[in-house]
Amino acid sequence: MARKRKSRAVAEDAKWSAKKQKQTQESSEESLPEGVHHYQTLEEVPWDLQKYWQQGYSIFSKYDEGIWMTDDAWYGVTHESVANTIAQHIADAAPSNKAIIIDAFCGAGGNTIAFALSGKWKRVYAIEKDAATLACAKHNAEIYGVADKITWFHGDCFELLGLVDTNPAATVTSLKAIASQYGVIFASPPWGGPGYRSSEVFDLESMEPYSFSFLYQSFKKITSEVVLYLPRTSDLRQISKFAKEDTKTQVVHYCTYGTSRALSAYFGNWKILKS
């Protein structure tokens, strides 16, 4: 009888623990901003995000410490090892007079955090249009201990930098002035959905909502040092059209587990990048 009672007690403890864990998860979810999640089990994750969630530790190594994500952010976040390599490349190759970096589409903060961790920049400026995604980036930067190195902006990067006339009142004149003199711009824009995966050579002018030419021609009004993070199958001929005469535009593929995730095109006066 004693053995049965012990088994029953163990079962009750396990049941109670599972119930408490579920309550804790639900309580945690309720305290998050609307649209923000920290999925802890596969069963919680929408089916179309499950393959991304299963890569969670390669995306954010500190995921279990409470990383926040929106569902849309899973599609665009840069894997941590790639973000760190890009950050180091930019830090090593940037002209000596460049002291700040602008992450024009900061998303959930993967690249922004890597720039702050690099130790290169006097200030990292991060811009995000979606309020819930920006909340994720701020929270995630806290987890990585670099929030004090970053200034956040909620809004359209083209409006904030005064690159379009749609909303002149939104322009942050001081940011535009600082960026013009001391800044480089990194942009990981939306690619317009997963259609690029089926293209042997991806037409960069088909990106939505911003074409490649619009992105480059807009950002070069601020600074000549621009890095664009693009699909791995991007048409290199389209990129080469914007290379300055008698100069080379460096293009680097960034890989994980032997597979290219994406490429970055470095426009401007960069030092030669080293692997």
3-state helix, strand, coil in the chain (%, to 5): 45, 15, 35
pLDDT tens profile 155-181: 999 999 999 988 888 899 999 999 999
Judge if the upstream peptide bond of residue 209 is cis by omega within 30 degrees of 0. Answer: yes
Strands (E), 67-181: 69-70, 100-103, 123-128, 150-154
Inform me whether the pLDDT recorded for 197 exceeds 90: no
C-alpha–C-alpha distance, residues 78 and 58, integer Å? 9
Q: What is the pLDDT, as a whole number, of residue 246?
A: 72
Q: What pLDDT was estimated at residue 31?
A: 84
- Per the prediction, the chain carries an average pLDDT of 88
* Tens digit of each residue's pLDDT (9 = 90 or more) over 105-155: 999 999 999 999 999 999 999 999 999 999 999 999 999 999 999 999 999
Query: 147 near 117, Cβ under 8 Å?
Result: no
Bridging pattern class, strands 100-103 and 183-187: parallel
Q: How far apart are alpha carbons 84 and 115 in whole angstroms?
A: 8
- For the record, the structure tokens of 248 come out as 């080379």
Interhelix angle for 110-118 vs 80-93, to 10°? 50
Confidence band (pLDDT; 50, 70, 90) for 21? very low
Of the pLDDT bands very low, low, confident and very high (cuts 50, 70, 90), residue 274 is: confident
| CA separation for the pair 4, 123 (Å, rounded) | 64
Question: Cα–Cα distances in Å, from 266 out to 89, 134, 192, 250?
Answer: 10, 26, 21, 5
| pLDDT tens-digit series, residues 35-75 | 999 999 999 999 999 999 998 899 999 999 999 999 999 99
DSSP for residue 78: P
Give all strands (DSSP E) within 74-170, no chain letters. 100-103, 123-128, 150-154
How would you classify the pairing of strands 150-154 and 183-187? unpaired
Edge to edge, the sheet with strand 100-103 lists 150-154, 123-128, 100-103, 183-187, 226-230, 259-267, 250-256
> pLDDT band at residue 27, thresholds of 50, 70 and 90?
very low
Per-residue model confidence (pLDDT) at position 142: 98
Percent of the chain at pLDDT exceeding 70: 87
Residues linked to residue 128 through DSSP beta bridges, in sequence order: 154
